[in-house]
Amino acid sequence: MLRDDFQSVRQRSLQLAAPLSNEDCCAQSMADASPVKWHLAHTTWFFETFILEPREPDFAPFHSAFRVLFNSYYNGVGARHPRAQRGLLTRPSLDEVRAYRANVDARMLRLLDAQAVEPALSTLVTLGLQHEQQHQELILTDVKHLLAHNPIAPAYDGTAMTPGAAPAPLAFQAFDGGLVEIGHDGRGFAFDNELPRHRSYVAPFEMASRLVTNGEYLAFIEAGGYRDPALWLAEGWDKVASGELAAPLYWRRQDDGGWQEFTLHGSQPLDPARPVTHVTLYEADAYARWAGARLPTEAEWEFGARLAQIDAALKEKAWHPGAADTDGLSQMFDACWQWTSSSYAPYPGYAPAPGAIGEYNGKFMVNQYVLRGSSCATPAGHARPSYRNFFPAGVRWQFTGIRLAR
């Protein structure tokens, strides 16, 4: 089973890169994004560094320079190539990176075939696969940001997007709250930041039945939402005043006054039925204030998802969030990551793993906010109610959306 999972996840990364040119795979659009070639190499580096190096009797790296070039942020492993300069790595070539992947894959399969997989090895391989799935999502969002900078608006997938059906009017579902259990319940995989499971008091609240749509967000813009400082957190208003924020990231106003939205399918007419996405926490919070609501806390979001027994399994692969199509709480998963008002902090009793692996989550628990759910770019099987995504308040190149609470 683990062997099959390994091969499936590793192949999926290559499939995501298949529609791209070699040039697409080398470029870097900003410091927060990475070239596809780097993602393919770094996820391989993880297996070579953390699994093969301590276990192969006569370990020899595929290339000694790769230890530095493809280290992301693991200071305990050694030096790292500067993140903002990953797009300058024209060498090794994409073909060499593919050869690196093939070499490490073959060695990993020999390791998995050569012995009964003890729990410690199984845990580490599973972590590596979950880590690669995170990078699969980043491949799509980073490529989208890259292609959006091209004036010819090239598509990752040239198939047409069909307009979404108008969703039901937004409604609020009431929850009694109380002393509730938050965090991973012990079934299946979890990252360390989802632990330990603990009790948290949640006051009675209401949560919106679906995400805020493009049409609803457009009404906010047309009502002067970006001109009213009373709606904005101070840092957000500074970005509005400087011209950095004026609409969601990939919205483009046309000469006729209408709007286009850049997607992985290329530039498309703005669909009022689909969820608004690629917004900062500042924009999500300002919209919530304008709508007479607020953003949910992460405890409220998880409690609501569990009580409603929302299925986190990906239903249909799409490259852009779809319109809401169910009653009750919908779009909790598979559409957009949803901003919460909760700062990203450790749960009571949290302890990072020992060694360099412990750098995976814990050291980022500062100056970030929690997002919940999953997005259209999240790999199948990677979502669950306890998953804690996190980003600084001002970023929006991920598929980030808005769910209201009150």
pLDDT tens track for 132-170: 999 999 999 999 999 999 999 999 999 989 898 899 999
- Asked if residue 285 lies in contact with residue 233, where contact means CB atoms within 8 angstroms, the answer is yes
Question: Residue 356: pLDDT above 90?
Answer: no
Three-class secondary structure assignment of 141-154: HHHHHHHHCCCCCC
CB atoms inside a 10 Å sphere around CB 366: 8
Q: 381 to each of 56, 111, 298, how far by Cα in Å? A: 30, 25, 21
pLDDT value for 402: 98
Residue 307 confidence class, pLDDT cut points 50, 70, 90: confident
Burial 215-254 (b: 16+ CB within 10 A, else e): ebbbebbeeebbeeeebbeeebbebbeeeebebbbbbeee
Residue with tokens 């679906």: 210
- Asked if residue 40 lies in contact with residue 98, where contact means CB atoms within 8 angstroms, the answer is yes
Question: Residue 310: pLDDT above 80?
Answer: no
Question: Residue 261: pLDDT above 80?
Answer: yes
179 pairs with which residues across the strands? 201
Residue 312 confidence class, pLDDT cut points 50, 70, 90: low
Backbone angles phi, psi at 291, to 5 degrees: -85, 5
What integer is the mean pLDDT of 392-399? 98
Those residues with Cβ within 8 angstroms of residue 262's Cβ, 6 or more apart along the chain or in another chain: 144, 147, 148, 153, 250, 252, 268
CB atoms inside a 10 Å sphere around CB 267: 16
Model confidence pLDDT, tens digit, residues 76-115? 999 999 999 999 999 999 999 999 999 999 999 999 998 7
pLDDT value for 325: 82
- Asked if residue 342 lies in contact with residue 299, where contact means CB atoms within 8 angstroms, the answer is yes
Task: Give me the helices (H) in 149-233, please.
Answer: 214-222
Task: Give me the helices (H) in 294-361, please.
Answer: 298-307
Topology adopted by domain 172-401 = paralog of FGE (formylglycine-generating enzyme) (3.90.1580)
Cis peptide before 321 (omega within 30 of 0): no
Those residues with Cβ within 8 angstroms of residue 139's Cβ, 6 or more apart along the chain or in another chain: 13, 16, 17, 36, 39
Q: How far apart are CA 344 and CA 11, in angstroms?
A: 32
Token output for 185: 């319940």
Residue 174 confidence class, pLDDT cut points 50, 70, 90: very high
Q: How far apart are CA 44 and CA 98, in angstroms?
A: 10
Burial 192-204 (b: 16+ CB within 10 A, else e): bbbbeeeebebee
59 Rama sector, left if φ>0, alpha if ψ -120 to 50, beta otherwise: beta
Q: How far apart are CA 108 and CA 15, in angstroms?
A: 20
Report the amino acid identity of residue 182.
I
Q: 325 to each of 152, 259, 316, 322, 347, how far by Cα in Å? A: 33, 24, 13, 9, 34
> What DSSP element (H or E) covers 133?
helix 119-148
Question: Residue 184: pLDDT above 70?
Answer: yes
Q: 118 to each of 6, 51, 121, 262, how far by Cα in Å? A: 16, 13, 6, 47
Q: Where in the chain are the domains?
A: 2-148, 172-401
* CA atoms within a 13 Å half-sphere pointing along the CA-CB vector of 258: 8
pLDDT value for 116: 77
* Radius of gyration, alpha carbons of the chain: 22
Strands 259-263 and 266-269: antiparallel
Length of the chain counted residue by residue = 406
> What DSSP element (H or E) covers 182?
strand 178-182
Question: Residue 276: pLDDT above 70?
Answer: yes
Q: How far apart are CA 404 and CA 297, in angstroms?
A: 10
Q: In the 8-state DSSP scheme, what is residue 23? A: H
pLDDT value for 243: 97
Question: Residue 316: pLDDT above 70?
Answer: no
- Asked if residue 138 lies in contact with residue 29, where contact means CB atoms within 8 angstroms, the answer is no
